[in-house]
Structure 1
Amino acid sequence: MLRKLSAANLAAISFLFAIIAASTSLTDSTITRNAFYLAVLFAIVAFISSRPRVLSRDAILISAAIFCIGLSQAVWLLRFPATITPYNEYLTSATRLLCGAVLVITLGSLQNSLSQNVKNFSKGLLIFGFFYTSGVGIYLHAQNPDMRLEINTVATITAYIYTLQSLLTIYVITNTSWRYKSISTVIVILLTIWVILLTETRTALLIYPVLLLIFFCRRQHMTVKTILSFGLLITLMVAAACHLFTTATERLTNTVNELSNYQKGNGDSSLGSRISMWKAGIHAIEQAPEGQSATHRLDLATQYIEQHEGGNPEALRNIVYHLHNDFIEAGSLQGAAGIIALVFFFALISVANIRYMHTHAMLLLLILPTLIIGMVDTLFIDHRFVTSLTLMLVIYLILQPSRRSTPGSGIQEN
């Protein structure tokens, strides 16, 4: 049956599955998983069926970046197989990353075979997916108004994935010819701030408006009218947040107090525990730069916190799971190879974006927030996040301005 379809049709089916997977990454993990693997399957068949086969340079670099992290995690699992059961997130995330690398290099290399109609339909599906996720989030909070919003995962990961979905949606809307795209953008921004406040996630609350400001400045939309409108919008949001979301705003304003208390020796707080865990993780890296099992790292980190961090209770409770920093998390388990893999990931995607792509949206709206968030939390061991990240890399790659007339943009295979 697949042989009867052209490479362009197979690529279109793969891309639509990727859109579905990205749109349901928070709301339905089963649909996401199935759509993700179907996207990979159709992309492979489409690439094999294509003539001539051309490997896109940007797709090669981005695929290699994803492959580096997936390989590093897979090698660690092979070295320390006893840790697979308690750390099964690593097994799932490594699998998704390695499959995602295949998806990027195959489907990304076929980006010019997709028709504009397919891309336009995909954009509409993405926008619908964002509003659907927003509706689910608001509904779930209405069922449990006294709890932080969680959409099938912890509140922080909910906020991070949703923030990236929002930024992608804004990118898509601003690149359409809709008459009411400005109003649509404002609605997306207001919804995003609302949902992030419900998750009470400080990092997302802080970086989201900054990224928006940079994005609109780069697009040269910052006229006096736009600046005044943006200022009014921010003022209204701050006023509404202070009145309606007292818990979220208290968490935000308590950041300075938590840092001050840590410096005074009281680190039993969210920020204080993170600092203790970062120090413990760096100590674990120094003790085993070649990598180590999760059990051995836990012993080293626990001993360090008890001896040098006053036995920080909040840190000891959380260190069982991860170290709240991607580089420290990777280095303390996978060794220097894990840190190098992360450096390669960000470096290769940056080179691909700057050197070969016609827009820097991927770098600004996806890679930059991932890097910033990864400094205060652990993202690459969460299979939902890495799946969303991989899919969004594909989507930004496909939806970039056409390169049909760009010479030297790919490597042809015989």
Structure 2
Amino acid sequence: MEKVKLRLYQLTLILSLVSLALVLVSSGKQREFFYIAIYASIVGLAFEYKKLTLRPFSIAYPVLLIGLLNLVWYLVYELHSEGLNAYSDYLGSSKKLILASLLIFYLDRFKFYVTKENFQKYFLITTAVGFVLATGYGVFQAVEGIDRVEMAINRPTIAAYVYSVLSLALVYSLYLQRNVKLYVVAGLVVLLSWFIILLTATRAAMGLYLILAIVLTLYQFRKIHLKSLMIFLCIVAGIIIVSYKPLISPKIEQTQSEITKYQEGHDATSLGARFSMWNVGIATGLAHPLGQSIDSREAWTKQYVKDGHPHVAAAIGYLRIHLHNEIIEKYSLQGIPGLAVLLYFFVSIIVYAMANRNGLLLTAMLLLLLYGLTDVMLLSSEALIFFMTLFALSPHFSQTRRQ
């Protein structure tokens, strides 16, 4: 029986690793391996039921809580809806989160089946393969003349967010090998990744990636040698010089132009529409502190615009999608309860990561939080599956290892 339990855990781990590697090259296969891993984890939990305990804390708990809240909200407001509709993404998100919590719990509680050294080796291979495939795909799209690199996700922004986290996961794995040559490889990975991110033309990722790479490096080593830092900065400067005119300058000019237009009362731009959505989201959240339906939010906003707020009219076109901010979206639809659960999700996992000196989990959560300020990551199928799979694998990197 113990051998069966071991094989089940190994199978679940392998399926999760494959799902992680395929995120940017085949969304369909990523999803398939993710669900098969969950089914395997459910069987594994059934075999291990005598060993199941709720203590100590697991990051599966806040994930489960968000999934249950989304499900309850859906049942309260839109159980009667049929077919694909504005609420389908929320129902799909709740299902993925609830099921993912089982995978996270299983891989966390029984991680003693795999030694930390072996797991780190498997994870390094997986992230390296995933990174090479994604980078190759991105370069191929750029050579073919695509306007914005999007890989297999077909949405450049989400592709950039996921790619940046996958890249830093590989960098973290390389750091853990404690090999000077691999440190150099990690530096090259950072530089190549940033160039690919520039090709996605995603402003949030362009600005945050290098900052989080530096944060991860400082967190891992506590200090950086001056010579290495100077070499790295010189290479970064070279990339900036080469890519500034074709890639960076247009985004800076676009940002300045959109801010100016918004200040003049024109919000029908990418950034202007976001400002309007955030304005509307906060206002409608204040008006419905216990939550509301998407239909109610839309009706309230249309009336809000008619009542003397035409400068936020661009937000109306996005109300049946989302408000491009994780926190505001949650608050506008699920009120104070949703906001409290979301904050618990972020704070509890970040605190757990810091308490266990888990650099991978901390970096992933910080980027999930920061990217969530301009998008809604927990509604994107590919991004949600990717982050949940990464969370499921991350406890193996905790410095305090439970037996």
Separation of aligned partners in 1, 2:85 and 2:125: 40
Cα displacement string for residues 279-331 of structure 1 (whole angstroms, at most 9, x for unaligned residues): 11112212222222212211222333454542556433333311011111112
Q: Aligned to 2:392, which of 381, 391, 394?
A: 394
For the structure 1 residues 23 and 269, does the alpha-carbon distance in structure 2 shift closer, same or farther, using more than 3 Å as the test? same
TM-score, normalized by length of structure 2? 0.90
**For structure 1, which runs of at least 5 residues remain unmatched after alignment?**
404-408
Cα displacement string for residues 187-243 of structure 1 (whole angstroms, at most 9, x for unaligned residues): 321231122112111001111111111222231341111220121122012112214
Q: Please say if 1:76 is aligned against 2:73.
A: yes
| Alpha-carbon contact 1:170-1:185 (below 8 Å) kept | yes
For the structure 1 residues 301 and 151, does the alpha-carbon distance in structure 2 shift closer, same or farther, using more than 3 Å as the test? farther
Separation of aligned partners in 1, 2:93 and 2:41: 20
| Alpha-carbon contact 1:258-1:269 (below 8 Å) kept | yes
| Alpha-carbon contact 1:24-1:31 (below 8 Å) kept | yes
Please name the residue that 1:354 is paired with: 354
| Alpha-carbon contact 2:265-2:311 (below 8 Å) kept | no
Please name the residue that 2:323 is paired with: 323
- Match runs of 1:338-353 below 5 Å: 338-353=338-353
Quote how far apart the aligned CAs of 1:54 are. Answer: 5.8
- Match runs of 1:8-407 below 5 Å: 8-50=6-48, 53=51, 55=53, 60-79=57-76, 80-82=78-80, 85-87=84-86, 88-115=88-115, 116-147=117-148, 149=150, 151-178=152-179, 180-218=181-219, 219-245=221-247, 248-312=248-312, 314-355=314-355, 357-363=356-362, 365-401=363-399, 403=401
For the structure 1 residues 5 and 29, does the alpha-carbon distance in structure 2 shift closer, same or farther, using more than 3 Å as the test? farther
Quote how far apart the aligned CAs of 1:101 are. Answer: 0.7
TM-score, normalized by length of structure 1? 0.88
Query: What RMSD in Å do the two structures reach over aligned CA positions?
Result: 2.4
Counterpart of 1:380 in 2: which secondary structure?
A: helix
For the structure 1 residues 283 and 227, does the alpha-carbon distance in structure 2 shift closer, same or farther, using more than 3 Å as the test? same
Quote how far apart the aligned CAs of 1:183 are. Answer: 3.0
Separation of aligned partners in 1, 2:110 and 2:54: 8
| Alpha-carbon contact 2:131-2:167 (below 8 Å) kept | yes
Separation of aligned partners in 2, 1:173 and 1:284: 46
Separation of aligned partners in 2, 1:287 and 1:56: 38
Counterpart of 1:61 in 2: which secondary structure?
A: coil
Q: Which amino acid aligns with 2:153?
A: N
Separation of aligned partners in 2, 1:57 and 1:143: 52
Separation of aligned partners in 1, 2:118 and 2:360: 22
For the structure 1 residues 268 and 150, does the alpha-carbon distance in structure 2 shift closer, same or farther, using more than 3 Å as the test? farther
Quote how far apart the aligned CAs of 1:178 are. Answer: 4.6
| Alpha-carbon contact 1:56-1:108 (below 8 Å) kept | no
**For structure 2, which runs of at least 5 residues remain unmatched after alignment?**
none
| Alpha-carbon contact 1:155-1:201 (below 8 Å) kept | yes
For the structure 1 residues 217 and 147, does the alpha-carbon distance in structure 2 shift closer, same or farther, using more than 3 Å as the test? closer
Quote how far apart the aligned CAs of 1:53 are. Answer: 2.1
Q: Which has the higher contact order (CA 8 A, sep 6+)?
A: 1
Quote how far apart the aligned CAs of 1:114 are. Answer: 0.7
Separation of aligned partners in 2, 1:118 and 1:347: 27
Quote how far apart the aligned CAs of 1:166 are. Answer: 1.0
For the structure 1 residues 291 and 212, does the alpha-carbon distance in structure 2 shift closer, same or farther, using more than 3 Å as the test? same
For the structure 1 residues 308 and 57, does the alpha-carbon distance in structure 2 shift closer, same or farther, using more than 3 Å as the test? farther
Quote how far apart the aligned CAs of 1:41 are. Answer: 2.4
Counterpart of 1:255 in 2: which secondary structure?
A: helix
Separation of aligned partners in 2, 1:201 and 1:147: 9
Cα displacement string for residues 352-411 of structure 1 (whole angstroms, at most 9, x for unaligned residues): 2233x2434311x111111111112111111211111111112221233462xxxxx47x
Q: Which amino acid aligns with 1:351?
A: V
Cα displacement string for residues 111-147 of structure 1 (whole angstroms, at most 9, x for unaligned residues): 1221333541332122111111111222233334234
| Alpha-carbon contact 1:112-1:402 (below 8 Å) kept | no
For the structure 1 residues 182 and 309, does the alpha-carbon distance in structure 2 shift closer, same or farther, using more than 3 Å as the test? farther
